[in-house]
Amino acid sequence: MQYFFQLGNFKGLSQAELSIVFESYNISKDSIKNFSEKILLIDSKDLNDNLVKRIFNRLGGYIRVGRVVNDLERFLEKEYEGKVVFGLSYIGDSKFDINKFNSLAKQLKKYFRDKGVSSRFILPKKTELNAAQVRKNLMLEKGFELCILENQDSQLYGETLEIQDIDSFSDRDYNKPSVDTEMGMLPPKLARIMCNLTGLQSGVIWDPFCGSGTIPMEATILGYNVLASDLNIEAVKATDKNIVWLSNNGYISDILYETFQLDITKPTGEVLKKLKHTQIDAVVFELYMGPPQTKLVTETQADTLLNDVKVLLESVIKILEEIGKRKIKMIVIIPSYKTESGWKTLRIREIFSKRWYVLNKEYSKEDLKWKRNNSIICRNIFILERK
């Protein structure tokens, strides 16, 4: 069976996420092939519909997933109960003639009418139906979304199996009880991706700069146990409050987590002893990158901000050395700042010794970046492992 995954906005990051999650399920990442700038095709005997949906629902970097339809007539022959609700989407690299949507939709409606089946269709305003249209019309339950997948050389049909649950991501982003508006907000989707980049299906994740708890929240939803710490005691309290909110709203159950205050540059002997005797499988974090920027920073400002980042990163590495954590994964964001003379960042080997392996290129040929248009700060994500 052949499946398609529609990439999110940050292709390299999404590719790395899927490759690593596949490996955690003992599925070869070599089964992933580029079909277009927006679509990955997967051909693997180890996959079935239920497993594909389970994997997709772990991911943060994908829009929809589906099954490639090789025979459209056979696909339409399945039995439906009640009125069929169907929609069409075009996922390709070129402009699409909306009139083709109308023509195909009317042909499909006629097909159902000739079979005595009542139906209605929903078309996108541009090329793709959004998640709200698919979900609110119960399209996947009462009918189907048929996707036209196209690259420069070929065209395929695909049936959507799942579409990203944007409502739950938005709920956790905007409705959680504690939000730190003074710090740059880490998107829950990126936090989800970072947790998946660990390659763990279970275990303990530590976020030493937890802020209001975005990474710990996504980690607990994925089933990890969590350690969360921060210099700011109010941030620690916010993380506690937000994780309790997750539980009260049905996002998590049976998860172990612990929060505590920690100055990463001056850890006490008591904290070091505690960490030494605690299982930690991965460290996942975004450092404090300075206040949100609305204009280009000066080179002096960028140097100051990057030096602060370097000090904090070196402190994390030192603690891991002191508590004897050898084979451990680290997923970290190192910022770039935009100045009048260009982008400034840190070189990874300025901070990490050769005992730390950088794994980015094993999972994506592209840089792992999360950057909005016209932003002053770019998030560079690194996958590291100490052996």
pLDDT at 67: 98
**Which element (helix H / strand E) includes 35?**
none
Q: State residue 279 phi and psi, 5-degree precision.
A: -65, 125
How far apart are the C-alpha atoms of 377 and 372, rounded to whole Å?
A: 9
124/72 Cα distance (integer angstroms): 21
Angle between helical axes of 299-322 and 269-276 (0-180°, round to 10): 60
What mean pLDDT do residues 55-73 have?
97
Tokens describing residue 61: 């970097």
Q: What is the dihedral of CA 175, 178, 183, 186, to 10 degrees?
A: -50
Question: Long-range contacts for 205-209 (Cβ within 8 Å, ≥24 apart)?
Answer: 205/280, 205/281, 205/282, 205/283, 205/284, 206/280, 206/282, 206/283, 206/284, 207/283, 207/284, 207/285, 208/262, 208/264, 208/283, 208/285, 208/316, 208/319, 209/264, 209/285, 209/286, 209/287, 209/288, 209/312
Q: How many residues does the chain have?
A: 387
pTM over 0.75? The answer is yes
Helix (H) or strand (E) holding 3: strand 2-7
210-261 pLDDT, tens digit each? 999 999 999 999 999 999 999 999 999 999 999 999 999 999 988 899 999 9
Task: Give the single-character DSSP code of 187.
Answer: P
Burial of 166 from C-beta contacts in 10 A (0-12 / 13-18 / 19+): middle
Tell me, what's the pLDDT at 101?
Answer: 86
- Mean pLDDT value of segment 81-89: 94
- Tens-digit pLDDT profile for residues 289-318: 888 888 999 999 999 999 999 999 999 999
List the chain domain ranges. Answer: 2-164, 167-386
pLDDT tier at 202, thresholds 50, 70, 90: very high
Least Cα distance to 61 among 5, 23, 134 occurs for 5
Which pLDDT score is estimated for 277?
Answer: 94
Give the model's pLDDT for residue 181. 62
pLDDT at residue 79 is higher than 90:
no
| DSSP category for residue 154 | -
On whether the CB atoms of residues 13 and 3 are closer than 8 A, the answer is no
What pLDDT score was predicted for residue 184?
Answer: 60
- Provide, rounded to the nearest whole percent, the portion of the chain with pLDDT above 70: 99
pLDDT above 90 covers a percentage of the chain that reads 88
In this structure, the number of other CB atoms found within 10 A of the CB of residue 76 comes to: 17
Starting at the edge strand found earlier in the chain, the sheet holding 84-92 runs 32-34, 39-43, 2-7, 62-69, 155-163, 143-150, 84-92, 119-122
pLDDT of residue 196: 99
Q: How confident is the model at residue 182 (pLDDT cuts 50, 70, 90)?
A: low
Of 59-63, 76-80, 116-120, 125-129, the range with the lowest mean pLDDT is 76-80
Instruction: Render pLDDT for 89-118 as a digit per residue (tens, 0 to 9).
Output: 999 987 777 788 889 999 999 999 999 999
Residue type, 79: E
Q: Which residues of 199-236 are buried (b: 16+ CB within 10 A; e: fewer)?
A: bbeebbbbbbbbbbbbbbbbbbbbebbbbbbbbbeebb
Using DSSP bridges, classify how beta strands 257-261 and 342-344 pair: parallel, antiparallel or unpaired: unpaired
Task: Report how far Cα 282 is from the mean position of its chain's Cα atoms.
Answer: 17
**CATH code that applies to domain 2-164:** 3.30.2130
Note the pLDDT of residue 230: 97
Alpha-carbon torsion, ordered 76, 78, 83, 88, to 10 deg: -40
Q: Does domain 167-386 have CATH number 3.40.50.150?
A: yes
Q: How confident is the model over 328-382, as pLDDT tens digits?
A: 999 999 999 999 999 999 999 999 999 999 999 999 999 999 998 889 999 999 9
